[in-house]
Amino acid sequence: MLRKTLLMIASLTFVFAFAMAQGFIVSPTEGNGPDAYAKGLDSAAVTQTVILRVPQVTALHLDVTELLFDMTPLDGADWPNPVFDFGGTMVCVYGPQETDRLVGGGFFGQQQVLPLGTYYGVGPGWPDIEILNFVSNDPLLPVTSYPPIQFDSDGELIPGSKDHFVCYRTFILQKFSNGAQWQLTVARTDAGGPGTLQHIYIQDNPCDTFGAGTGFYELHVGEPLRLVPTGLGTGPTGYRSASDPELCGFKSWLDDLVVVAVKVNADQNGDNAATLQYTLTTDAWW
């Protein structure tokens, strides 16, 4: 019994020693310049400069390389009243007006757009958003069928339910910059024309500001958009503001919520695609 106990203690000691040995070893740094020395009667002081040297780096991380707006669940056997579930990742609604609403508040001379009079605001919590009616406080009518059509409980056509509509999706884009100023742009690089996605809108929200100082813009081929105002791209990502250093949570990589909307109207069957290229640029600070 004593032998088993000793063996157990020895085993535990070995496991503990092995676990302790998994740390990283740091040896003393040796000087590579003149030594500092001082001498005094009651005290002595020497001076040391501590330097963190980092390379200039600009980086982007995007894990959603294909953003799919799939209308096929709306075209099922039960059309025009199919049972479908987008899982909360996509919302399609009829707008309160026939055309896009143009509003002020843009920057860099870019026109702010609200697709069919819709916009988005803060949802139940980050990173959820809520799709809202800009024209009035009336609720938006959800799209439940494709081609779009809806009937009321009496079997009568709901006015406006055959109209074109807008769908929303979001994703997270992570940025890293350690320069004095950075800027995020997006460009539509496809050829455009028939058979491609006709109407696409985008907005970026750095540090979940939900549109503060930014706009919702329509993307056209050959017309790059600047997505972040100058004041929001100052200093390293994750630590933008000296007055409010906790604005981005002291993160190195900056999580931005990107909102993309498409207007579904006279699009051809099959896949109607648009190619977007995001570019982050940095100005050095030394």
At 83-131, the pLDDT tens digits run: 666 778 999 999 999 999 998 767 788 889 999 999 998 888 878 899 9
pLDDT band for position 246 (50/70/90)?
low
Distance CA 141, CA 266 (A): 20
Given a contact cutoff of 8 angstroms between Cβ atoms, the answer to whether 130 and 118 are in contact is no
**pTM (2 d.p.):** 0.85
Q: What is the pLDDT of residues 222-244, one digit of tens each?
A: 999 999 887 778 888 876 555 66
213: its two tokens: 């100082």
What's the rounded Cα separation, in Å, for the pair 37 and 33?
A: 13
